[in-house]
Chains A and B, each alone.
Chain A
Amino acid sequence: MTGEIGQLALCLALALSFVMAVSGIAGSRSGAASAQAVASGAASGLLVFIGLAFGALTYASIVSDFSLLNVAQNSHTLKPLIYKISGVWGNHEGSMLLWVLVLAIYSAAIAWSRRGGERLTSAALGVQGILAVAFLLFILFTSNPFVRLDPAPFEGAGLNPLLQDFGLAVHPPMLYAGYVGLSAAFAYAAAALITKERDWVRAARPFMLTAWIALTLGIALGSWWAYYELGWGGFWFWDPVENASLMPWLVATALLHSALATERTGAFRSWTLLLAIAAFSLSLIGTFLVRSGVLSSVHSFANDPERGVFILAMIVGAIGGALALFAWRAPSLEGGASFEPASRETALLLNNVFLAAAAATVFVGTLYPLALDAMTGTKISVGPPYFAITFAPIFIVLLILVPFGPRLAWRKGDLSVSLRILAPALGIALVTAVAILAFTAPRTLVGAGAFAVAAWLIVSSFIDLRARGFKVIQASALASALAHAGLGVTLIGVAGTTLWRTDALEVLGPGETMNIAGYTLRFDGVKAAHGPNYDADRATVTVLSGGQTIAVMHPEKRIFPAEGQDTVETAIRTTIVSDLYLALGDQREKGRWILRAYVNPLAPLIWLGALVMALGGVAALWSRLRVVRPVSAAVPAPAE
């Protein structure tokens, strides 16, 4: 029954999204109150029916209803409940259903908040409706999760064990909240072009912020998962799938900043529209890369060229349609005040230029190998060295410029005053660089530079807050301080882990020891262990420092019989300042195992920094939803 309910709900949702598209666009003309009301109602209905379909699939997965092909292929009776639920979006069909569910949630939020007035809301709902139609057709025709299997098998095939993990249970919904959140920004931008409404940025801002927060957390979660689950000790591999989420993040960050200027002074009006279109286009491209199977990557579990062509058509339609609309209507939205070379606007402009350039280098590095393969058949891959040469320098220059932004006034700022206020941060940054050169081994100029930039970012965020007066901290000032300081924290983690990591690899028998970075690791043997749906070889490793036992760690190798796969379960002991990271390798001779150990200095700061950035986003969102905006500001106005 659940399958039929889900199928029916999806069909009804398709009909409703069609109604929403048509009535939404019709309601974008003034005085079309009834069409506007229909579009809003359709948005609520869409959420109900897609929620119902999603609930049906989740229920089928929980009760192990293997008469559904999707459940039979991706679930197993012995799988723990949390992974039965997260398994719903751990496969292609379910994840596309999650995608439209998130789309429906954002559509309902647009309909209920009615930000920017009736006409803008209606047009935005129309655009969301068109997207919903496209995605629902995609699901129903190429990726239907409710296809029946007859006869139903007694047992399912199970879920890829790498995905049976808490971090990866939460990662996709977070990432989708980000990707699809950008659809709301896109919808408002297109709606602004349709209705010629200049004030769309203010209406769209909470959606941009929500999307950005979710994307930040989603990327951080994915990177954290890769770190502890893949057993290579790394946190970012410049894998195309990772890049696919990084590109929208870079452009969404540019959009948040550009939109500030557009909202405040009317500057960069066209550019902000273009960024909103670009950010969502990159989300679609990310979906295409991951879901079409064009990549040789751990994420491309399901692949089917038909799906790829469908998504490609959607990308072309969305980008082409939006750009055509832009070319047609953008000139009528022109206008905006002028500004001096030393001003908040210039700072935001540089921010955008550098973010766009950084995104472009990632884009080329990700798509050039695919294009080359498609055109010449030559297979190449572009690895970390490419990104170290292209992305890193651009991003470092951007980071150096960041602290000036919040200190410069709108329209006409004073660079020398800003520099004077920020001088202590510059001093601390230089001291940091000297200290790093003096006290760390191996000595690296890059490391000293990275720590100096991080100190510069963190201290100047603090100075910015203090200069505004701690007593009445505005949420928006707190937002920029947190987001910028978070960048510094992440930079410390990245630099520490990349430049000062140590690793060791040895074959150990019971009682034998190995040394790494001041720790002595004593291998105390391997015992069999059993989980709900796996068997494990569980090692015991005693960690000694200065003759004292400081920890006992248990790296594991797990074997999942249902799926016929092994996973490496790392053991990590963290002190925030450094991670001791153990991964168990193969058994060599009887009782002798390979043990791989890493010491990753400052690694936790990578994700802590992302959390701080996201908190900055939350502060900005809070200031938006709570505070009535000031009309003018004599002091340097707070950034977000």
Chain B
Amino acid sequence: MTPKQRRRIAFAGALILASAGAAALVLTALKDNVLYFYSPSDVQTKHVQPGVAFRIGGLVAPHSVHHGDNAGVTFTVTDGAAAIPVSYHGVLPALFREGQGVVALGALSDTGTFAATEVLAKHDEKYMPPEVVDALKRSGRWKEGAQ
């Protein structure tokens, strides 16, 4: 074997080892650490189990926001066809408003309330999170929901 061939084999070997290692890590991580996105209708039809973390998205239902003690807040997320109550403890994003799109991260509690650990309103007045647009389209409420 010439030194050149040896070098090539070493290089290819190292690359294969590293990619196998990386692939193993990636697959393990993807198995356990992926968050699904569900609309309120999905939550009802798919019977999501309590305690399983996922993201929920839709519109904040009008007149549903209630502030509790000490920075606690409850509101309802709706896609027009279904609605899920959400509870959250913390600072709501500056763009959080009734009638606007919202994405929350958390899990269902035993009572069927979505306990959010994070609430995102990563959009401006002209822009809706694509998942929310999609959820509204699927429930047939896109036009009225957007305006």
Binding site for B on A (CB under 8 A): 160, 231, 267-268, 271, 293, 295-298, 300-301, 336, 338-339, 341, 346, 349-350, 353-354, 356-358, 360-361, 364-365, 368-369, 378-383, 385-386, 389-390, 393-394, 505-507, 557, 563-568, 583, 585-586, 588, 594, 596
Instruction: Given A300-B127, A349-B14, answer yes or no on A507-B92 (Cβ-Cβ < 8 Å).
Output: no
- Which residues between 109 and 142 of chain B lie within 8 Å of chain A, taking CB atoms? 122-125, 127, 129-131, 134
B18 within 8 Å of A (CB atoms): yes
Please give, as numbers and ranges, the residues of chain B lying within 8 Å of A389 by CB-CB distance.
Answer: 25, 28-29, 33
Interface residue total, chain B, C-beta cutoff 8 A: 44
- A298→B94 contact, CB < 8 A: no
Contact B34 A394 (CB under 8 A): no
B135 shortest CB reach to chain A, Å? 9
Decide yes or no: A364 and B26 within 8 Å by CB, A160-B124, A382-B33, A594-B91 being known contacts: yes
Say yes or no for B52: interface residue by CB 8 A criterion.
no
Q: Check B124 against A565 for contact (C-beta < 8 Å).
A: yes
**Segment 27-76 of B: residues with Cβ below 8 Å from A:** 28-30, 32-37, 55, 67, 69-71
- Expressed in whole angstroms, the Cα–Cα distance for A369 and B21 within the complex equals 21
Contact A357 B19 (CB under 8 A): yes
CB-based contact B127/A301 at 8 Å: yes
A contact face: mostly helix, strand, loop, or mixed: mixed
Bound CA–CA A389/B29 (angstroms): 6
**Chain A nearest Cβ from B122, distance in angstroms:** 5
Instruction: Provide the residues of chain B in CB contact with A380, threshold 8 Å.
Output: 34-37
Contact check, B129 vs A381: say whether CB atoms are below 8 A apart.
no
Which 8 pairs, one residue from A and one from B, show the smallest C-beta to C-beta distance?
A: A338-B3, A379-B37, A585-B91, A566-B94, A385-B33, A389-B29, A357-B22, A390-B25
Partner of A296, one of B4, B18, B29, B131: B131
Q: Give the contacting residue for A506; candidates B3, B19, B33, B70; CB below 8 A.
A: B70
B124 touches A378 (CB 8 A): no
Cα distance, A541 to B137, chains bound together (Å): 45
Q: Among residues 66 to 96 in chain B, which have CB atoms less than 8 Å away from a CB atom of chain A?
A: 67, 69-71, 89-92, 94-95
User: Please, which residue of chain B has its CB at the minimum distance from the CB of A157?
Assistant: B126
Residues of A close to B103: CB separation below 8 A? 296
17 A-B residue pairings within 8 Å (CB atoms):
A231-B91, A271-B11, A293-B130, A298-B122, A300-B127, A338-B4, A346-B10, A349-B14, A354-B18, A357-B18, A381-B35, A382-B30, A389-B25, A565-B95, A566-B94, A567-B94, A583-B91
Evaluate contact between B29 and A386: CB separation under 8 angstroms. Answer: yes
In the bound assembly, the distance between CA atoms of A596 and B10 in angstroms comes to 53
B72, closest chain A residue (CB) = A507
B146 within 8 A of A: no
B25 in contact with A394 (CB, 8 Å): yes
Q: A339-B7, A380-B34 are in contact. List 17 more A-B contacts (CB 8 A).
A: A296-B103, A296-B131, A298-B122, A350-B14, A353-B15, A356-B15, A356-B18, A357-B19, A361-B22, A365-B26, A378-B36, A505-B91, A507-B71, A557-B94, A565-B124, A585-B92, A596-B91
* Chain B residues within 8 Å of A563, by CB: 124-125
